[in-house]
Amino acid sequence: MASAPTSKYNSRSLENESIKRISRDGVNRDLSEAVPRLPGEIRITDKEVIYICPFNGPIKGRVYITNYRLYLRSLETDSALILDVPLGVISRIEKMGGATSRGENSYGLDITCKDMRNLRFALKQEGHSRRDMFEILTRHAFPLAHSLPIFAFVNEEKFNVDGWMVYNPVEEYRRQGLPNHHWRITFINKCYELCDTYPPLLVVPFRATDEDLKRVATFRSRNRIPVLSWIHPENKTVIVRCSQPLVGMSGKRNKDDEKYLDVIRETNRQISKLTIYDARPSVNAVANKATGGGYESDDAYHNTELFFLDIHNIHVMRESLKKVKDIVYPNVEESHWLSSLESTHWLEHIKASIFLILTGAIQVADKVSSGRSSVLVHCSDGWDRTAQLTSLAMLMLDSFYRSIEGFEILVQKEWISFGHKFASRIGHGDKNHADADRSPIFLQFIDCVWQMSKQFPTAFEFNERFLMTILDHLYSCRFGTFLYNCESARERQKVTERTVSLWSLINSNKDTFKNPFYTKEINRVLYPVASMRHLELWVNYYIRWNPRIKQQQPNPVEQRYMELLALRDEYIKRLEELQLANSAKLSDPSTSPSSPSQMLPHVQTHF
């Protein structure tokens, strides 16, 4: 793996660019403006535009386009507007109006973003003034369609922490107490020959041979066999994940698959049955039989209990997010935004996603912890709803995952290494905005985590900014963390060698992302309340671009706590300076012990 040398750049620093402009009165004005630019980021062009602000109307500004971002700065004296949009966030770019369009600001570009924003820029109609801007934006926002590299591969940022070293599967399974006499580690997939969307290292029942695994793989969709995700530290029950069995319309059976699930069940002697949670609505599971899929029926899998969790598929989730976006941007007025949400059935969309996902994860966690039963979780292919359920259940059960590093490991393990299709669901660098594979599956997971953090404000080491930073860089293409669909593709592209990890940024600035109320607790299980009354709209994320909406203010106690921490740091710094200045006097035995300077080492503050 590529190691990250000591920090050479401050990634948050701004490079000052001297931009000369001729004002209306013909005078050359040299405006030294701070235009943010990362190491490896190259400015391509800039152009004067009219930004059609949905909240404040037309604003004259200058837009700068680099190989990483679109950056707009207002040119109007009464507006300090700045837009900073990573090009990876852009989903669609459309031309607005034509050469013969009439009406003020009717000619320009309409940009749809993946982070709940829509941007409109008006340009002069003379001389096809938008053509170059449209072509440059299209080339760099959708590099895959133009044989250009995604920005992560040209990003030259350096950090003092190597985020690629955060997750080591052997160490994580060892932390869980694995392998043991019931479970073993296998490298059967080290060349991705068993399953090209699984990681190289898998944990499987001790009694199952590698030949058994190969036979089971033939009966599971995409060869995604049941493998261990987590083991309970006390009762040794497990969470196992996989894809649907290939039952088909004829009701096919596979003795190896049935035996394998029985072997998993027998690793837990406390309960006579293995609990199976199928994330899909039952009608969808039945319908999947027509395409060769299906579910575990009672007559084939005798010692199992099957429950359907009614979580909708990626297409329903995608439409749900679209409806939320239509509500919150840009039409929400602060005076009546709650009634607006209710009138457009926002709660129904939340129920279809956050409510059902959280409810399902609670069932999984409770069955393992209180029911003392091992559980198997799957949906269709085992890389969307399955990842939501296993990771949330593990977050509820294992306090380690509520730390900053633990959560990073959880995301790397359950989402990235086990093949959630980030490239397909997000569309990194891809111009096909209408692709049916796009869906906000990972966003919903992070929303569920935020809901839990609201209900348990002392249980998580990380704060809201941590979650929002993860989501922002899910789209930005600045880091390699979320690129591609699976580990085999990342290995082919040498992602860990050629790109920077998002965890490098976060772990180099950990204090920024810490929750001051965090209280570390061992083995405390969290059961969030998933009722409609307790679910909230994440205003600071979904409506953060709307200046008319008051953001959810930080807890006043938390705010005061942060101020006191800053004050404490300031006092400590001053105290150290005084101690250093008086060290010579303090070491002189002839100095009177009652002198104020000698008392300095014993000075204490209330902090």
Cβ(48)–Cβ(60) below 8 Å: yes
SS3 labels along 373-414: CCEEEECCCCCCHHHHHHHHHHHHHCHHHHCHHHHHHHHHHH
Count of H-run helices and E-run strands, the chain: 21, 16
Q: What is the pTM of this model?
A: 0.86
Q: Is the peptide bond before 143 cis (omega within 30 degrees of 0)?
A: no
Cβ(393)–Cβ(365) below 8 Å: yes
Active-site residue, selected from the candidate residues 53, 195, 379, 486: 379
What pLDDT, on the 0 to 100 scale, is given for residue 272?
87
382 marked as part of a ligand binding site: yes
What pLDDT, on the 0 to 100 scale, is given for residue 32?
42
Residue 263 in tokens: 């072997």
Q: How are strands ordered across the β-sheet holding 108-113?
A: 82-86, 69-74, 57-66, 43-53, 118-122, 108-113, 90-96
Q: Is the peptide bond before 179 cis (omega within 30 degrees of 0)?
A: yes
- Our answer to whether residue 195 is catalytic in this structure is no
- Domain 43-148 of CATH type 2.30.29.30: yes
- Who contacts 164 (Cβ-Cβ below 8 Å, separation ≥6)? 1, 2, 4, 496, 501, 503, 504
78 marked as part of a ligand binding site: no
SS3 labels along 263-304: HHHHCCCCCCCEEEEECCCHHHHHHHHHHCCCCCCCCCCCCE
191 marked as part of a ligand binding site: no
379 marked as part of a ligand binding site: yes
Mean pLDDT by 10 residues, the chain (607 residues): 40 34 31 75 94 89 96 88 95 85 82 92 82 95 96 97 98 98 97 98 98 98 98 96 97 97 95 95 96 96 95 80 72 60 60 86 97 96 97 98 98 98 96 88 95 96 97 98 98 98 97 92 93 84 79 66 78 87 68 49 45
Residue 325 in tokens: 């976006």
CA-to-CA distance for 29 and 75, rounded, in angstroms?
13
What pLDDT, on the 0 to 100 scale, is given for residue 182?
97
Residue 530's Cα: distance from chain center in Å? 21
Question: How does pLDDT run across 121-170, given as a tens digit for each residue?
Answer: 999 877 677 899 999 999 999 999 999 999 999 999 999 999 999 999 99
User: Residue 254: what are its φ and ψ, rounded to 5°?
Assistant: -140, 110
511 marked as part of a ligand binding site: no
314 marked as part of a ligand binding site: yes
CB atoms within 10 A of CB 434: 9
DSSP designation for 2: P
CA-to-CA distance for 199 and 420, rounded, in angstroms?
11
For residue 524, with 0-12 CB atoms within 10 Å meaning exposed, 13-18 middle and 19 or more buried, which class applies? middle
What pLDDT, on the 0 to 100 scale, is given for residue 325?
75
Instruction: Kindly provide the b/e burial profile for residues 32-53, where b requires at least 16 CB atoms within 10 angstroms of the residue's own CB.
Output: eeebbbbebbebeebbebbbbb
Residue 113's Cα: distance from chain center in Å? 16
CA-to-CA distance for 227 and 242, rounded, in angstroms?
7
Residue 515 in tokens: 């929750």
Cβ(325)–Cβ(297) below 8 Å: no
Whole-angstrom Cα Rg for the chain? 28
Q: At what angle do helices 441-455 and 385-397 cross, to 10 degrees?
A: 20
Question: How does pLDDT run across 36-61, given as a tens digit for each residue?
Answer: 899 999 999 999 999 998 888 899 99
What pLDDT, on the 0 to 100 scale, is given for residue 338?
60
Residue type, 520: K
Using alpha carbons, select from 152, 132, 156 the residue that is nearest to residue 144: 152
CA-to-CA distance for 16 and 229, rounded, in angstroms?
48
380 marked as part of a ligand binding site: yes
User: Residue 587: what are its φ and ψ, rounded to 5°?
Assistant: -85, -5
User: C-alpha distances in angstroms, 271 versus 229, 259, 278, 371, 397?
Assistant: 19, 17, 20, 9, 19
For residue 507, with 0-12 CB atoms within 10 Å meaning exposed, 13-18 middle and 19 or more buried, which class applies? buried
383 marked as part of a ligand binding site: yes
What pLDDT, on the 0 to 100 scale, is given for residue 6?
38
Q: Where are the alpha helices (DSSP H) in 398-463?
A: 404-410, 422-426, 441-455
- The alpha carbon dihedral of 532, 533, 538, 539 has a sign of positive
Residue 432 in tokens: 């096909």
508 marked as part of a ligand binding site: no
Largest CA distance in the chain: 98
Residue 317 in tokens: 């989730």
CB atoms within 10 A of CB 582: 18
Delimit the domains of the chain by residue range: 43-148, 169-551
CA-to-CA distance for 516 and 560, rounded, in angstroms?
11
E-strand spans in 54-160?
57-66, 69-74, 82-86, 90-96, 108-113, 118-122
User: Residue 250: what are its φ and ψ, rounded to 5°?
Assistant: -85, -5
| Beta-carbon-side half-sphere exposure of residue 181 (alpha carbons within 13 Å) | 1
Count of positions (residues) in the chain: 607
